[in-house]
Structure formats: C-alpha cells, structure tokens
Amino acid sequence: MAATVEHNVLSLANGVRMPRLLYGTAWKKERTEHLVRQAIRIGFRGIDTACQPKHYNEAGVGAAVMHALGDGLHRSELFLQTKFTPRSGHDPKRIPYDPDASIATQVEQSFAVSLRNLRTAYVDSLLLHSPYPREAHTVEAWRAMEGIVDRGGAKQIGISNCYSLRTLRALYDASRIKPAVLQNRFYAETDYDVALRAFCRERRIVYQSFWTLTANPHLLADETVRLLAMKHGRTPAQVLFRYLTQVDVVPLTGTTSEAHMREDLAIFEFELTETEIKAISALL
C-alpha cells in the first residue's frame, strides 16, 4: 500500500504524504472553523471535508487553513481531502453545482467551489462521495476526476461509501488513474469490510475508516481491549485507533473535545505487539 511508513505519516507511491490519522469535519456546522483551527494547533495535519453543505462547512475548513498558514504553517505540511457528492446526497436547496448539468460538469463545478472554499490551488485527495446506482455514471464522474488530477488540481482520487467489492473492482478495472483511497464506515454490519480491505492491500489502496468509535461501543467495552488499555496505560479508544493504524487503516476522528484530540494524536507514543494485534483482529 505504501512506499514508506513513517511514525505517523504514510508516504505513498504516488508521492502523496498522508497522515495516519485524519480529523473529520462532518456535522461541525458553525463550529467547524474553531474546531479545525484547534485540531491543527494541537498537531493534526490531515483534514477531511466535502463540498456537501448538508453535512459539511467546507468554507469553515478553508478559514481555519488560512489562519494556520498565516501562523507560519506551510501548505505542503497539510493534507486536505474533500469530496464530490452526487446530487442524491445533497439538500435539494443547497446543491453547489447545476443539478441539471452533465455529471462531468457537476464534478467540475463542485471542485471549483471546493477550491474557493478551501482557499487553495489544489487538494491532496479528492473522493467520489459515493458510487452511483449505475456504473456508467460512476465512471463518468471518475473520468472528470481523472481530468482534475491531470491538470494538477488533485494529487490523488478515491471513493467513499463503497461497500461492494464488485463495484470497487469494476471501478478499478475501468479507471485510468486508479483509486488511491477507499473511505468507509467501519462497523460490524459490513463485517468490517474484510474483503474490501484485502482488495485494498493487494491494489495499494489506502483504506480510511469513519464512524470508527461511534459504531463500535462493543469493541471499546470488550475485555480484550480494556485489558490492553490498562496494560499500556491508555484508553480503549486509543487502543482501537492504534490497532487500526498498525493494520494499515487510516482512521478519521471527529471529536470536538480538545482532550480527546490530544489523546488521539498520542496513539503513536505506543505500539501493540503482533500477539496483541491478532487478539483484536479476532474480535472483528
């Protein structure tokens, strides 16, 4: 999957440097700028957002990024990831592109809005927020995203909310620029995407997990995880996040607590043994 693995950064074969833990900005609304500024100040260097006003305040992320750059942070030190959301994923009253235009035009218009919102000349990662019901439409959107990579607007592209191995394989086979990221909800209902994650490992696709803590209270309460937390002097959440980073998953955390932000970043201060990793894997 990765050409090089540093302490808390994946250096990918395509030249992109992706933090191994990302700050997710969904549902933050008017608090987005404050929380992203706080996350960057504490040490987060990877921010996930979307051009989807229904669930994200992308402009708030951009304001926070501008503040960080004004404080001396260089743009190259940040990993910014946004998404193009198909029409069905929007509030009909707040679609950031012409809903009657072609899919390719919708992608272009949405991306132009993202660049304005984020106040950047490029993004490090652009995701298709979900596949379309029709494969041909997914491919049409992907072709437009490939064009954005060709002209330097995005360093890599990927897909989110894709829970079908057949769908991901078809996209991979049809694509000229291969998916670099799969971002999915990480939960028991989809068997923790075991087959998809195996496909990602084989094809050097980074698997990103969201809803990682919220969907898994049973894992956090499991005796195996609790005992490991006690052993390492950490919280169960830290143990689960650390486990995921050690099995090549990049988790998103959306916490609004400064204390939890610090705890999340502190997962790289300890390491689970191979035996401990196997014990947690047995729970999934």
Percentage, residues of the chain above pLDDT 90: 95
Q: How far apart are the first and last CA of the chain?
A: 21
3-state secondary structure the chain: CEEEECCCEEEECCCCEEECCEEECCCCHHHHHHHHHHHHHHCCCEEECCCCCCCCCHHHHHHHHHHHHHCCCCHHHCEEEEEECCHHHCCCCCCCCCCCCCHHHHHHHHHHHHHHHHCCCCECEEEECCCCCCHHHHHHHHHHHHHHHHCCCECCEEEECCCCHHHHHHHHHHCCCCCCEEEEECCHHHHHHHHHHHHHHHHCCEEEEECCCCCCHHHHHCHHHHHHHHHHCCCHHHHHHHHHHHCCEEEEECCCCHHHHHHHHHHHHCCCCHHHHHHHHCCC
Just give the CATH number of 2-215. 3.20.20.100
Entry field: residues in the chain: 284
- pLDDT higher than threshold 90 for residue 144: yes
- Mean pLDDT of the region 56-69: 98
- pLDDT higher than threshold 70 for residue 60: yes
* Residue 1: per-residue pLDDT: 39
pLDDT band for position 5 (cuts 50, 70, 90): very low
Tell me the whole-structure pTM to 2 decimals. Answer: 0.96
**Mean pLDDT over all residues of the chain?**
96
* Residue 52: per-residue pLDDT: 98
Q: Which residue type does 60 have?
A: G
- pLDDT higher than threshold 60 for residue 4: no
Q: Quote the CA–CA distance of 200 and 78 in Å, as a whole number.
A: 24
For residue 61, give both structure tokens: 């992320």
* CA 39 to centroid of chain Cα atoms: 15
* Residue 6: per-residue pLDDT: 57
Strands 125-128 and 79-84: parallel
Show contacts of 12-16: CB within 8 Å, 24+ apart: 12/156, 12/180, 12/204, 12/206, 13/204, 14/155, 14/156, 14/180, 15/155, 16/79, 16/124, 16/125, 16/155, 16/156, 16/180
User: Are 48 and 92 contacting, i.e. CB atoms less than 8 angstroms apart?
Assistant: no
- pLDDT higher than threshold 80 for residue 169: yes
Sequence-distant (6+) residues with CB within 8 A of 263 are 235, 237, 238
- Each residue of 170-211: pLDDT tens digit? 999 999 999 999 999 999 999 999 999 999 999 999 999 999
* Residue 2: per-residue pLDDT: 38
- Each residue of 228-277: pLDDT tens digit? 999 999 999 999 999 999 999 999 999 999 999 999 999 999 999 999 99
pLDDT band for position 13 (cuts 50, 70, 90): confident
User: Are 245 and 267 contacting, i.e. CB atoms less than 8 angstroms apart?
Assistant: yes
